[in-house]
Structure 1
Amino acid sequence: MKVKLILILICILPFKLFAQQQWNLKDCIAYGLKNNRSSVVYENEKKAADAKAKEALAAYLPSLNVSSSFDDNLKVQQSIIPAGIFGPDPLRISLTQRYNTNSVAELDQTIFDQSLLTGLKANKYSRQQADLNIKKNEETVIYNIGNDYYQTYVYREQLRLLRSNLEIYYKQMKISQLQVQKGISLQKDLDRVTVNYNNAVSQIRVAESNLTLARNQLKYDMGFPISTELPVDTVAQENLANPPVTNVEATRFSPENRTDYQLSEINSQLLNIDQKRIKAGALPTLTGYAKYGEYGYGTTIGPAFNHLNPYSAVGLKLSIPLFNFYKRNAQYNQAKYKSMNALENLKLDSGKYAVEYQSAITKLVKAQSNLESDKRNIELAESVFRTTDLQYKKGVTNLTDWLDARTSVKDAQNNYLNSLYTFYLDKILLTPDMLPIDSDYALSLIDAFLVHHVIALAVETEDQA
């Protein structure tokens, strides 16, 4: 019983730990890099590239072929020796018999084939291309998970703010109900507050739906089971006064660091090798061979298999292409122009990536400025609302001013959340494609620092409410 109990605990414990684990951004990315299904695809492509390299190398390795044949010459072919050689009349003879067997083993070895030697150089670049495709996929996975993770946080904090607003409207609705019952307020005032309350309820339903969709998208990009709960880490709720400043001046850009540019460079190299391979097809090829066989014949089947005569040979085969110039020249020109276009596209990409980098820097600076401005605007809107709320309670102002002030707070909150999400996107967009990156570097740049700020804002709003 003790052994069974221990085994049960061993089986259950990992699931409990898994269920209780709090997932932060680094955990989500690390899990996604291991479990996203696209990683399997690109790993298989790398294995396929290795197999293709072995296939190309096999063309320069010895090849052994064994063949066997059996012929039933229903009507034996005859040869005619002209008259005057062995007699006055033409002589008909058969150089074979009805049944023939032949078995032969032949060993071939390519001694010189420049086109094959040139093609072998492509193996290195094919492996590099497969590795870069894996790296590119990892960058895509990191970006998608970072996007989903931040989106989940934004929707969650939006939901927190909406519930805070709902509580404020609910309290005001109860106050208005009492005022209507006492005859000190009109029914239309209660209806106006109730409309805002119902709108907040509808907005919460939409936010809950968006949060569910964002979580499911995060699970999908991680390769996480959709039906399993993913407890995203609730970051420590610290009151951070200002968002972090991103120092874009310290970043250095070089198009050669982009994975897309490196893939284009390798494609250019492969096209250049293909061009040289086609050109080398005009050179002679030399092959050595050795073969051993046995043949038999007879007027019946038995002797054709029982009485076999051995033979063997070694030799060289020289092949000189002479009359395929037009086809080869056409292929060479196609490869040449493709290679030239690849070089030109590299130059175009270099300029395009430089423009994209500058645009990303500009967007990030603007997003950061908007984020700081919208945060200050929330504080100003909250200050106005507190003053208006106090004036309304003292009867100095009316309900219209109170509702307008609360609407201004909601608008400021929405603007801030939108600015915050845009800032996240611009930051992670700048990371994987623009700068030299590996997974650890991505994790260090895509941090959860700004998330602290979102939650701090939500807590502050709840306290003020």
Structure 2
Amino acid sequence: MSKKIITLLLIAVSCQLYAQETWQLRQCIEYGLEHNRNNAIYTNQKRAADARAREALADYLPRISLTSTLDDNLRLQQTVIPAGIFGDQDLRVSLTKKFASNATAQVDQVLYDQALLTGLRANKYNRQQAALNLQQSREAIIYNITAAYLDIFVYRQQLELLHYNLETYQGQINVLQLQVDKGVTLQKDLDKVQVDYNNTRSQQRVAQSNLELAHNELKFEMGYPFDTPLKVDTAAPANPAIKKDVAFSPEARIDYRLAALDVRLKELQQKSIRAGALPTLSAYARYGAVGFGDHLDQAYRDLNPFSAVGLKLTIPLLDFYRRNARYRQAEVERLNAEENLTLSEGRYRMEFDNAQAKLLQAQSNVENDQRNVTLAQSVLTVTDLQFKKGTTDLTDWLTTQNALKQSQNSYLSSLYTYYLARIDLEKAAGTLQNFYNSL
């Protein structure tokens, strides 16, 4: 019993340590790539593609079939032997008996079928398509987890700034309260600061709620249990070098490669339809036995074996109109797929260029807004000192404090835009997997 108790205590301690672990961005993505349910779906799709490839290959492998029949001829069929062969009158005879049995084993092997051969070539592309879908799912997981992680980071930054503002307001309230008690300051001045303090507290509660929502979003994207605490690292994500003058290649985008594969598959579909007009050749070997009898046991007692081998040539003749209509439809679909591929190439290039421009602008904005926050804090420090010495009034102090809050809000907005622009550039460049590997 003591060993069980010790084991349970060790499990409880390990679970507590696991729950208190601080998760960095790379750990979150690594966990999500393993536990997100979308991965299981696309993994199953890849398995299905492999199974379809084996199914297509099976059409070109030998087929063995066994057939057994037993006829109970309730009324025997008769045939007529004309008069003059065995007598002067027509002779009616039955060429079988009441019971007839038949057992046959046959092997069929396709020797030439161009449509099947074309289908076998398509298997390679189907497998590549399933693998790319799985890779695309992984990139979506990386992007979504990173976006949720950044939400948490920005909301925590906001809470830190709001906490700083609350301490500033609280300090001013304490000073004004003493002045009101001494009768040197009006109550309305204290109320003005109190109103701003209360508004900041409301903003703090909203930010705290948003932070909890962001945690839930991160847990969902990771496939992490909602009822288990998740402590996320508060440090800012690493700042990789901004990609400047990168030689963009649309092939780096998985969705572009999927579109290119779609064109290949539609080309093979056309060829497969056209190959339907070609003759098909197959070989077969057959072995069996038949038995007859007036009673059931006699039909299986004396069996007469038979065997045959042969070739089967099939030439389609009157399927031209239907096949031609299907071919034209497949041709139009292929042409549209090629046009979509060309459009996609231009769109992906535009997305990459725009993402680069947005990131450079966002970086400039966040640096400028960060300087403004520092400057506004410096101005507030001077104004606060002047207010305590009586060289400025409360209106000037409140104006300075509001300017600081506005600069903080602008900084938070530009900070989130900057980090989002970074991950958007990785997505546009098709390098989300490299981004994850570099963390």
Taking structure 2 as the reference length, the TM-score comes to: 0.94
Confirm or deny: 8 A CA contact 1:432 1:442 kept in the other structure.
no
The 5-angstrom pairing of residues 44-443 of structure 1 reads 44-235=44-235, 246-435=241-430, 437=431, 439=433, 441-443=434-436
Encode CA deviations 1:8-64: one digit per residue, 9 max, x unaligned. Answer: 566456434423422111111111111111111111111111111111111110011
Tell which deviates more after alignment, 415-424 or 336-345: 336-345
Gaps of 5+ in 2: none
Encode CA deviations 1:93-136: one digit per residue, 9 max, x unaligned. Answer: 22222322222111111111111111111111111111111111
Paired residue secondary structure (2:409): helix
Does the C-alpha gap of structure 1 residues 397 and 45 become closer, same or farther in structure 2, counting only changes over 3 Å?
Answer: same
Which residue type is aligned with residue 434 of structure 1? A
Q: Quote how far apart the aligned CAs of 1:193 are.
A: 1.5
Q: How many residues align?
A: 439
Does the C-alpha gap of structure 1 residues 112 and 371 become closer, same or farther in structure 2, counting only changes over 3 Å?
Answer: same
Does the C-alpha gap of structure 1 residues 10 and 59 become closer, same or farther in structure 2, counting only changes over 3 Å?
Answer: farther
Paired residue secondary structure (1:227): coil
Confirm or deny: 8 A CA contact 1:259 1:433 kept in the other structure.
no
Instruction: Tell me how large the CA RMSD over aligned residues is.
Output: 2.2
Distance 2:242 2:170 in 1: 44
Distance 2:273 2:393 in 1: 86
Paired residue secondary structure (1:248): coil
Matched, 1:31 2:31: yes
Q: Quote how far apart the aligned CAs of 1:288 are.
A: 0.6
Does the C-alpha gap of structure 1 residues 343 and 301 become closer, same or farther in structure 2, counting only changes over 3 Å?
Answer: same
Distance 1:358 1:6 in 2: 60
Does the C-alpha gap of structure 1 residues 438 and 351 become closer, same or farther in structure 2, counting only changes over 3 Å?
Answer: closer
Distance 1:84 1:398 in 2: 141
Distance 2:23 2:143 in 1: 17
Tell which deviates more after alignment, 35-44 or 82-91: 82-91
Encode CA deviations 1:311-364: one digit per residue, 9 max, x unaligned. Answer: 211111111111111111111111111112211211111111111111111111
Q: Quote how far apart the aligned CAs of 1:76 are.
A: 2.3
Distance 2:153 2:145 in 1: 12
Q: Quote how far apart the aligned CAs of 1:86 are.
A: 4.1
Distance 1:22 1:324 in 2: 68
**Structure 1 vs Structure 2: percent identity of aligned residues?**
51
Q: Quote how far apart the aligned CAs of 1:88 are.
A: 4.2
Confirm or deny: 8 A CA contact 1:97 1:299 kept in the other structure.
yes
Q: Quote how far apart the aligned CAs of 1:367 are.
A: 0.8
Which residue type is aligned with residue 152 of structure 2? T
Confirm or deny: 8 A CA contact 2:153 2:236 kept in the other structure.
no
Confirm or deny: 8 A CA contact 1:29 1:222 kept in the other structure.
yes
Gaps of 5+ in 1: 238-242, 448-465
Taking structure 1 as the reference length, the TM-score comes to: 0.89
Does the C-alpha gap of structure 1 residues 188 and 84 become closer, same or farther in structure 2, counting only changes over 3 Å?
Answer: farther
Distance 2:95 2:425 in 1: 82
Does the C-alpha gap of structure 1 residues 38 and 361 become closer, same or farther in structure 2, counting only changes over 3 Å?
Answer: same
Q: Quote how far apart the aligned CAs of 1:199 are.
A: 1.0
Confirm or deny: 8 A CA contact 1:292 1:311 kept in the other structure.
yes
Paired residue secondary structure (1:120): helix
